[in-house]
Amino acid sequence: MEMDKEYERKCYELAYLIFPDVDETVDDLEVKYPERNELKVGAIVTRIAPSPTGFMHTGSLYQAMVHKKLATQTDGVYFLRVEDTDQKREVAGSIKMYTDELKYFDLLATEGVLGEDKQVGSYGPYIQSQRKDIYRVCAKHLIEKGLAYPCFCTPEMIDKTRQMQEANKIVPGYYGVYAKCRNISIDESIERVKNGEKFIIRFRSNGSHLRKISFVDGARGKIEMAENDQDVVIIKSDGLPTYHFAHVCDDHFMRTTHVVRGEEWLPSTPIHLDLFNAMGFTPPVYVHTPLIMIKDGNSKRKLSKRKDKESAVSFFIKAGYPAEGVCEYLMTILNSDYEMWKSKNKEKNYMDFEFKLNKMSSAGSLLDMPKLNDLCKEEVAKMSGKEVLDKVLVWSKQYSQDFYDILNKDLEYSQKVFGLERDNATKIRKDIYKWEDVEETFKYFFDEIYNKELEEKGYIIDSILEEKPTITKEVIKKSLEEYIKAYNENDNKDEWFARMKEVAQSLGFCTNMKEYKANPENYIGSIADFSSIVRMAITNRKNTPDIYSIMQLLGKDKVINRLNTTLSKV
Ligand code: GLU
């Protein structure tokens, strides 16, 4: 007993020696960052905790969906904390990039770091490098309790121990008898700190890897693992905490209820539970999200930052994927029952769906790009011409300034272009799924870029010659000449079509498709072939929306001009 008291006194002495300027206590912090009692029972407090490494992984976007859904569904809180304790990996501008990217998908948090210089909420600061004081209070607390100690081992010494352990097939790490500085006397620790020897701070674990612990993962259910026995580093030589320690202090004092994070953290969960326990804090519910996989030949593999462009959220933004489509897709891989729900609730979107943690798969989720593209197509198909124009303007302003300028020359015209087979249409044309393709798809509406295409790629009208031997150069020429003569810009659609047929028939095309199919040898081609000639002459495309509407939009001068130019090139 006497001995214990003496030991305790020395622990306090050691703690004071290491942190002489720390006056606050853990109890003070409990008062400063109280429980979020204003929230109703069951409200989930969740957070996204990016490290500012200049790269947002698609997996983080997927997690952001979970955060947002859990918080909004329960009237809880979703906040963003920046985890910048590994300063070697830090890349300038990351916070702005991260918050901008989340904003693009409407997945920005409502508390914490919301922009480069913007922090909102009373549980801050929300950037770990600004929370040093808090970690120092907590580390001091552990030293006082004999649950942390200074470690004077050099990286070389640690390496040597590890090599010895590996050679002898011993569980590697700094623990038990292999934890040299754990086993020196407290007097020696005090002495060496007093002498100014360099040290880091380690946790003193009382666990054993021979025992098991179990915990309930929010998505995976009960999980059993070996107990932690590693004396992990809690404060590094630069005075900053490790992830293990920082997240424990932060998630406690930010009153997080659910830590939703990548599966790669699952193996270290016993360390985290050990630390929560040592601090006397109640641990949050851990939810480990599955890895995102990608098809590679016949097998699946983890989405790789090095190999797969789709692993970066920035890829989707730069290519101009509509946020709604990407989010819809992510929900289909997040919850197995989403698609069923969606098929019954076509008008609703993923924010109306009740997301369930237990419907999350624990096997990897496959990122199926063709399916994602299809869902994006569906989302674009729901937009009006004006909405498409607005989105394309925002995208092109950043990624294609020339196209942006062209669209801006006549916004009313641009809106009509995107409104074709969209506004007031009975059957919506589904031709776009990302904004970077819009310029190519709609080029022929804009002379500046259309003419450039003709110069660079040439005319495609000759391709008919290969497909239909009966349609010779002469036929094309004649068709264009006659059509130029007959064309009347004042025709309504029926009159226009009647005139097309008239010209076609006079040249030997069949205007009745049924008849043509029965006796193709009697004709040089069908009315569809004749239309193709006109379509290609005007747009240099084989497939376009309704050619009549296109001609109406382009206007007489352009139509005649294009017909004549193509004619001169045949
Ligand atoms: N900063 C950690 C990471 O980027 C966050 C893990 C967590 O959410 O706790 O992986």
Secondary structure of residue 11 in the 3-state scheme: helix
Q: How far apart are CA 198 and CA 337, in angstroms?
A: 55
Q: How far apart are CA 314 and CA 326, in angstroms?
A: 12
Secondary structure of residue 119 in the 3-state scheme: strand
Do the Cβ atoms of 373 and 432 come closer than 8 Å?
Answer: no
User: How many whole angstroms from 262 Cα to the centroid of ligand 1?
Assistant: 7
Ligand 1 site-directed mutation target among 56, 83, 129, 257, most atoms within 8 Å of CB: 83
User: How many whole angstroms from 83 Cα to the centroid of ligand 1?
Assistant: 7
Cβ within 8 Å of residue 123, ≥6 positions away: 33, 79, 111, 112, 253, 254, 255
User: How many whole angstroms from 51 Cα to the centroid of ligand 1?
Assistant: 7
Q: How far apart are CA 355 and CA 289, in angstroms?
A: 14
Beta-sheet pairing, 200-203 with 525-526: unpaired
Do the Cβ atoms of 548 and 527 come closer than 8 Å?
Answer: no
Quickly state the pLDDT bin for 154 (edges 50, 70, 90). Answer: very high
User: How many whole angstroms from 248 Cα to the centroid of ligand 1?
Assistant: 12
Instruction: Tell me the average pLDDT of the chain.
Output: 95
Closest among 444, 416, 445, 420 to 431, alpha carbons compared: 420
435-463 pLDDT tens trace: 999 999 999 999 999 999 999 989 988 88
Please count the other Cβ atoms lying within 10 Å of the Cβ belonging to residue 567: 18
Backbone phi, psi, residue 397, to 5°: -55, -35
Cβ-in-10-Å burial (0-12, 13-18, 19+) of 225 comes to: middle
CB-side neighbour CA atoms (13 Å) of 386: 2
Ligand 1 site-directed mutation target among 62, 129, 243, 250, most atoms within 8 Å of CB: 243
User: How many whole angstroms from 351 Cα to the centroid of ligand 1?
Assistant: 24
Ligand 1, closest atom to CA 48? 8
Query: Does the N-terminal peptide bond of residue 125 adopt cis geometry, omega within 30 degrees of 0?
Result: yes
Backbone phi, psi, residue 345, to 5°: -130, 60
- The set of protein residues with a Cβ atom below 6 angstroms from ligand 1 is 49-51, 83, 247, 259, 261, 265
Q: Contacts for 479-483 with beta carbons within 8 Å, 24 or more apart?
A: 479/503, 479/504, 479/507, 479/530, 479/533, 479/534, 480/533, 480/534, 480/537, 480/563, 480/566, 480/567, 480/570, 481/567, 482/506, 482/507, 483/534, 483/563
User: How many whole angstroms from 311 Cα to the centroid of ligand 1?
Assistant: 16
Q: How far apart are CA 218 and CA 213, in angstroms?
A: 16
Ligand 1, closest atom to CA 63? 8
User: Quick one: pLDDT at residue 429?
Assistant: 87
267-282 pLDDT tens trace: 999 999 999 999 999 9
Closest among 455, 348, 160, 380 to 340, alpha carbons compared: 348
Quickly state the pLDDT bin for 363 (edges 50, 70, 90). Answer: confident
User: Quick one: pLDDT at residue 1?
Assistant: 45
User: Quick one: pLDDT at residue 364?
Assistant: 78
Sign of CA dihedral 66, 62, 334, 347: positive
Do the Cβ atoms of 420 and 549 come closer than 8 Å?
Answer: yes
Report which protein residue has its CA nearest ligand 1's atom 7.
261
Tell me the pTM. Answer: 0.92
Q: How far apart are CA 111 and CA 49, in angstroms?
A: 12
302-343 pLDDT tens trace: 999 899 999 999 999 999 999 999 999 999 999 989 999 999
Quickly state the pLDDT bin for 427 (edges 50, 70, 90). Answer: confident
Q: What is the mean pLDDT of residues 373-388?
A: 96
Quickly state the pLDDT bin for 215 (edges 50, 70, 90). Answer: very high
77-93 pLDDT tens trace: 999 999 999 988 999 99
First to last CA, the chain: 105
Ligand 1 site-directed mutation target among 56, 84, 113, 247, most atoms within 8 Å of CB: 247
Report which protein residue has its CA nearest ligand 1's atom 9.
261
Quickly state the pLDDT bin for 464 (edges 50, 70, 90). Answer: confident
Ligand 1, closest atom to CA 264? 10
Cβ within 8 Å of residue 513, ≥6 positions away: 526, 527, 528
User: How many whole angstroms from 477 Cα to the centroid of ligand 1?
Assistant: 66
Do the Cβ atoms of 51 and 172 come closer than 8 Å?
Answer: no
Go through the domains of the chain in sequence order and give each one's CATH number. Answer: 2-27+132-289 (3.40.50.620), 305-381 (1.10.1160.10), 385-455 (no CATH), 458-569 (1.10.10.350)
User: How many whole angstroms from 163 Cα to the centroid of ligand 1?
Assistant: 29
Quickly state the pLDDT bin for 424 (edges 50, 70, 90). Answer: confident
User: How many whole angstroms from 321 Cα to the centroid of ligand 1?
Assistant: 26
* Segments in 79-131 forming alpha helices (H): 94-104
Quickly state the pLDDT bin for 426 (edges 50, 70, 90). Answer: confident
User: Quick one: pLDDT at residue 3?
Assistant: 57
Report which protein residue has its CA nearest ligand 1's atom 8.
261
* Cα 546 from chain centroid (whole Å): 36
Ligand 1, closest atom to CA 261? 8
Is a pLDDT exceeding 80 seen at residue 466? no
Ligand 1, closest atom to CA 53? 4
The structure tokens 């097998």 sit at: 299
Is a pLDDT exceeding 90 seen at residue 467? no
